Amino acid sequence: MELVELTEEIVKSLVVDKDAVSVKEFPTEEDNVMLIQVMVNEDDMGRIIGKSGRTANAIRTLVQASSALKDNKYIKIDIDKF
C-alpha cells in the first residue's frame, strides 16, 4: 500500500464526511522528504487533530513507520480544512 493511500484510509476511518477527504502528495526540494497534504471538512478537523494533537501525531507515526519499511523517506503531513 502506498503511503498516500495509507494516509487516506486512516483519515477516512476517523471522519464523518468521508467524501470530503482529499489526500495528495506534493513534491519537495529535498530528495528524501515526502509532503502529504490532507484536506478534510471543517467539522472533522477536531477528529483528525485530536486532543493536544495526539491523533495527528499518531497518523504521522503510522505513516512514518510504513515509510521506514518501504523507502525510508521522511514524511511531512499537512492537515487543513476546506
Structural domain boundaries enclosing 10: 3-81
Query: SS3 for 57?
Result: helix
Residuewise pLDDT in 10s, the chain (82 residues):
599 999 999 999 999 999 999 999 998 999 899 999 999 999 999 999 999 999 999 999 999 999 999 888 899 999 999 8
CATH number at residue 22: 3.30.300.20
> pTM for the whole thing?
0.91
The whole-angstrom separation of Cα 76 and Cα 13 is 20
Domain total of the chain: 1
